[in-house]
């Protein structure tokens, strides 16, 4: 198993795509490509998105997590599993 730190400019849209760019989660086309968003109750999703929007607009998100925007990669726990057949 090999760790796979996610690059800052990750092009694929899956759950951790916005680790350093949380505004991506406000984009419905991004969310529609992430299966975990489909499993969230719509009221809870809307509440969470509203809070994220507020935190981004007021700078709260950047105060708490802005250091993530400066990182080149982030270990979200993804791994490559490989096998060799002899």
- Domain presence at residue 12: yes
Say if CB 75 and CB 13 are below 8 A apart. Answer: no
Residue 54 has pLDDT above 90, yes or no: yes
* Three-class SS state of 34: coil
Digit-coded pLDDT (tens) for 3-19: 777 777 766 667 888 88
DSSP state of 39: T
- Cα distance between the two ends of the chain: 18
Number of domains in the chain: 1
Per-residue pLDDT reduced to its tens digit, 66-79: 999 999 998 888 77
Q: Is residue 25 part of a domain?
A: yes
**Percent of the chain whose predicted confidence (pLDDT) is above 90:** 55
Measured between alpha carbons, how far is 75 from 86 in angstroms, rounded to an integer? 31
Residues in CB range of 66: below 8 A, 6 or more apart: none
Query: Domain range holding 19?
Result: 2-80
- 80 Cβ neighbours under 8 A, 6+ residues apart: 1, 2, 4
Domain membership of residue 85 (yes or no) is no
Cα(61)–Cα(78) distance, integer angstroms: 24
């Amino acid at each position: 198993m090999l760790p796979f730190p996610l690059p800052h400019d990750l092009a694929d849209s899956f759950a951790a795509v916005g680790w350093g760019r949380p505004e991506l989660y406000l984009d419905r086309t991004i969310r529609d490509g992430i299966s975990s968003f489909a499993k969230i109750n719509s009221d809870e999703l809307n509440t969470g998105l509203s809070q994220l929007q507020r935190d981004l607009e007021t700078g709260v998100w950047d105060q708490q997590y802005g250091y993530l925007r400066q990182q080149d990669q982030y270990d979200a726990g993804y791994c490559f599993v490989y096998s060799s057949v002899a």
